[in-house]
Structures are given as C-alpha cells and as structure tokens.
Amino acid sequence: MLKQALEELDGEVSAYRRLSSMLDKQFQVATRLDTASLACVSEAIAQEVHCLEGRRRQRSQLLTVASTLANRLPAARGTVAHRAVEQRCTELKELATICKAATLRNGQLLASQYDAMQRVLQGERHTYAPA
C-alpha cells in the first residue's frame, strides 16, 4: 500500500513538473507576444490546473495515508520509507511554490502588456483632458 501511495505521489510531482514547464513556456510565448501560441498554452495550463484541483482532496488524503504507513513500518524499513515520503512531499511543496511564483510572474507580465496596449489604443487619460 505504501508503494501505491509513493507511486501516486510521484504522479503528483510529475503533474506539477508539467505545470511548471507550461508556465515557463507561457512566459516565453507572452514575451514574444505570440497570441495564438499563448492561447494554446493557456488552455493547456487551465486543463492541468483543473486536473490538479480535482485531485486536491485526494492528494491530501494520500499524504496522510503515506505518512501514516511510513511511520507504522518497522524501524529499519520505516526510516527509508519515511525519508521517501518526506522527499516526495518536500519536492511537491517546492514545485507548488515554484508554480505559484511563475503564475504571479506571468500574471504581472500579461497585466503590464494589457496596460501598455490600452495606453497605445486609447491614449493617456490626461492627454486630452479638458482644461
């Protein structure tokens, strides 16, 4: 059962790695102002996030089960199992933090591009203000 829990944790780590890669690609595409590619990458990100969100409660239960199983094993095996669970949990938390930072970075870039485009299309508000 611990093996299954570790495999599922590995799947979650892989999903967060994919998301991190997609967020990096989104940033690169956004800096090039490639709107067609940006739409495709953003859709893929939305689908991945939807899947991750759908498994959030299951992931929480999985972490509890994996920790419990690792702590119940005999001392010789428990140490290895406990380290394996801790390592995957730590990596999962690090990847979640990286994804959160990348999402913030991408959002700020897209917002600044939107603001710049609005100024180009509509001009500065105070430029044509009545005296």
CA dihedral 95, 101, 103, 108 (to 10 degrees): -170
pLDDT, mean over the chain: 85
Q: By mean pLDDT, which of 46-55, 57-66, 96-105, 108-117 is the weakest?
A: 57-66
Question: Nearest-CA neighbor of 61 among 19, 8, 22?
Answer: 8
15-42 pLDDT, tens per residue?
A: 999 999 999 999 999 999 999 999 999 9
Q: Is the pLDDT of residue 76 over 50?
A: no
User: What does the alpha-carbon distance between residue 90 and residue 8 come to, in Å, rounded to a whole number?
Assistant: 15
The torsion angles phi and psi of 126, rounded to 5 degrees, stand at: -85, -10
Q: What percent of the chain is modeled with pLDDT above 70?
A: 82
Residue with tokens 């702590």: 71
Supply the DSSP string of 28-97, one letter for each residue. HHHHTT-HHHHHHHHHHHHHHHHHHHHTHHHHHHHHHHHHHHHHHS-HHHHHHHHHHHHHHHHHHHHHHH
What's the whole-number mean pLDDT along residues 86-113? 94
- For the stretch 107-130, what's the b/e string if a residue is b when 16 or more beta carbons lie within 10 angstroms of its beta carbon? eeeeeeeeeeeeeeeeeeeeeeee
Name the pLDDT band for 57 (thresholds 50, 70, 90): confident
CA atoms of 18 and 25, how far apart (whole Å)? 10
